[in-house]
Amino acid sequence: MGNRTHVTTWHNRLGPFAARSFLAITMGGLLSAIGSSAASVTLVWFVLSSTHSPVLVSVVLACYFGARIIAQVFTGVIADRLNRGRVMLLGDLLSGFLYIAVALLVVSPAFQSLELIPLYILLGLSCQLYPVSAQAALPDLVPQEDLVRANAGMQACLDSGSLVGPAVGAVLIGIVGPTWAFAANAISYFLSAGATFFGRVNSRPDRRPQRVLQDLGQGLNELVRNHVLSLLCIVGLIVHIAVIPIETVLMGVLVKDVLHAPVITYGVAITCLNVGALACGVGLSLVRLPFSAKSMLFIGCSAEGVGVIGLGIAPSPWLLWMVAAFYGAAGSLLFAYVLAVVQQSTATSIRGRAFSAMYLGVEIGSVVGLAVVGSLIPAFGPRAVMIGMGILIFLTLPLVAAIRDNEMTPSVKGEKATAALDPSPSGDA
């Protein structure tokens, strides 16, 4: 009896990390987050340094996110038709090979910055296969009562990887140039693919595939019918009009042209952002808060808006770092509860398309933000643009208030997902 109590207590402490498949995809995400954050810092700083044009940075990133919008139309259909573990594996491998191509392009003596655009379009088309499939599979890997903890724990691991990534990117730029930062990201994607494969992630949608257009129509119908999903898609769109430009173009321009600080200041700011997100994610993964999901969504949106305005008025690097940590924590809180609410309010057979719809709103917001910010910075300056973005985020609060608590339950009850783990040694990856 004593041993059983000990095992149960240990299992409760581990929470969602006691599930092998969940642990595998989380560790894979940790590895790829290190490389991706290093590559993101490298891209922004390299293009700014070689062209001195924030507009070109916005163009490259807008093409990337534009491709992600196109991909979202079909990514959810793929995740709802195939074994989601295999889709995750495919996404990692494609991204790894594409970043090898980016590294080879950058090292070429005849390199031109505009040549990055086609590669980043291809990256945008492939990069959402993994996150959409992983989020759709998550309720099949952990108990429903652990969804918030699982989302927070996964995000905490991603943020811990992103902690060292910006610093690694800055160091690599200064010592050996940008090529190795992009190459390191390619290696991280291959390691993530290995974790998915050996973790035997096996989440099969409980449905018979229809024609692609029928699947798309069913997904659109779910978006219109599901009040919670439609509102959260709009919230994601509005928030990400601000988030992506802030974490890429605006932060870089603020550090370089307003604070006149070196690249390490930008790297530390992104690192502080991830420290805040990590701290919040770890706390949420360990403790079940006694507040409703709606209340936490409201708090998350409010804190995000405050954080963005704080970034815009920070007068020195060290204050910028402090506000960045708060802003990161707010984003982690909001993200964990948005994911859990979407997972709980959609059936497993439609969940891939539900996440595609949500991510589609996010991608549209990102493209709009990046397209607009390039022209707003020269006209108003990065500080005024950041403050405006913070005010924009506060416009999401009425949308959150419109969500009813009784809507945040599974839309189809009694529908059982297939086994999350494949017990056979040759399980699907």
Structure tokens at 230: 């439609």
Phi/psi of residue 427, nearest 5 degrees: -65, 160
Task: With cut-offs at 50, 70 and 90, classify the pLDDT of residue 423.
Answer: very low
Task: With cut-offs at 50, 70 and 90, classify the pLDDT of residue 412.
Answer: very low
If you count DSSP H runs as helices and E runs as strands, how many of each does the chain have, helices first? 17, 0
Structure tokens at 294: 């709606």
Task: With cut-offs at 50, 70 and 90, classify the pLDDT of residue 208.
Answer: low
Q: Is residue 335 part of a domain?
A: yes
What is the chain's length?
Answer: 429
**pLDDT, averaged across the chain:** 78
- What does the alpha-carbon distance between residue 201 and residue 203 come to, in Å, rounded to a whole number? 6
- What does the alpha-carbon distance between residue 87 and residue 130 come to, in Å, rounded to a whole number? 7
Task: With cut-offs at 50, 70 and 90, classify the pLDDT of residue 222.
Answer: low
To 5 degrees, how large is the angle CA 423–CA 92–CA 218? Answer: 80
Structure tokens at 242: 């601000």
Give 408's DSSP letter.
S
Structure tokens at 129: 């296969």
Q: Is residue 235 part of a domain?
A: yes
Task: With cut-offs at 50, 70 and 90, classify the pLDDT of residue 404.
Answer: confident
Q: Is residue 429 part of a domain?
A: no
Phi/psi of residue 201, nearest 5 degrees: -70, 120
- What does the alpha-carbon distance between residue 286 and residue 152 come to, in Å, rounded to a whole number? 9
- Domains: count for the chain: 1
CATH number for the domain that contains residue 31: 1.20.1250.20
Q: Is residue 65 part of a domain?
A: yes
Q: Do residues 105 and 111 touch, judged by C-beta distance below 8 A?
A: yes
Q: How many CB atoms lie within 10 A of CB 227?
A: 13
Spell out a b/e string for 314-341, using b for 16 or more CB atoms within 10 Å of the CB, else e.
beebeebbebbbbbbbbbbbbbbbbbbb
Strand intervals (E) in 155-309: none
Q: Is residue 418 part of a domain?
A: no
Q: Do residues 215 and 81 touch, judged by C-beta distance below 8 A?
A: yes
Q: Which residues contact 138 (CB under 8 A, 6 or more apart)?
A: 22, 147, 150, 151, 154, 339, 343
Q: Give whichever of 147-151, 234-238, 286-290, 422-426 has the largest mean pLDDT.
A: 234-238
pLDDT on residue 207: 56
Q: What's at 412, amino acid-wise?
A: V
Task: With cut-offs at 50, 70 and 90, classify the pLDDT of residue 303.
Answer: very high
Q: Is residue 425 part of a domain?
A: no
To 5 degrees, how large is the angle CA 27–CA 29–CA 31? Answer: 75
Structure tokens at 368: 């709009």
User: Pick from 305, 333, 332, 307: which is nearest to 320 by CA?
Assistant: 307
Q: What's at 320, amino acid-wise?
A: L
Query: Scanning the structure block, which residue is given the tokens 């988030």?
Result: 243
- What does the alpha-carbon distance between residue 330 and residue 318 come to, in Å, rounded to a whole number? 19
Q: Is residue 415 part of a domain?
A: no
Q: What range does the domain containing 132 cover? A: 2-407
Q: How many CB atoms lie within 10 A of CB 266?
A: 26
324-364 residue pLDDT tens:
999 999 988 898 888 888 877 777 777 777 777 777 777 78
User: What do you get for the CA distance between the two ends of the chain, in Å?
Assistant: 37
Query: Scanning the structure block, which residue is given the tokens 């397209």?
Result: 371
User: Pick from 257, 336, 282, 258: which is nearest to 304 by CA?
Assistant: 336
Q: Do residues 237 and 33 touch, judged by C-beta distance below 8 A?
A: no
What average pLDDT does this structure show over 259-285? 82
- What does the alpha-carbon distance between residue 145 and residue 157 come to, in Å, rounded to a whole number? 20
Q: Is 226 exposed, middle or buried (0-12, 13-18, 19+ CB in 10 A)?
A: buried
19-59 residue pLDDT tens:
777 888 888 888 888 888 788 888 887 777 777 777 778 78
Q: Which residues contact 344 (CB under 8 A, 6 or more apart)?
A: 139, 144, 147, 408, 409, 410
H helix runs in 250-350, sequence order: 251-253, 263-286, 293-313, 317-345
In DSSP terms, 421 is beta-bridged to 201
Q: How many CB atoms lie within 10 A of CB 398?
A: 9
Lowest-confidence segment of 116-120, 122-126, 365-369 by average pLDDT: 365-369
pLDDT at 253 over 90: no
Q: Is residue 414 part of a domain?
A: no
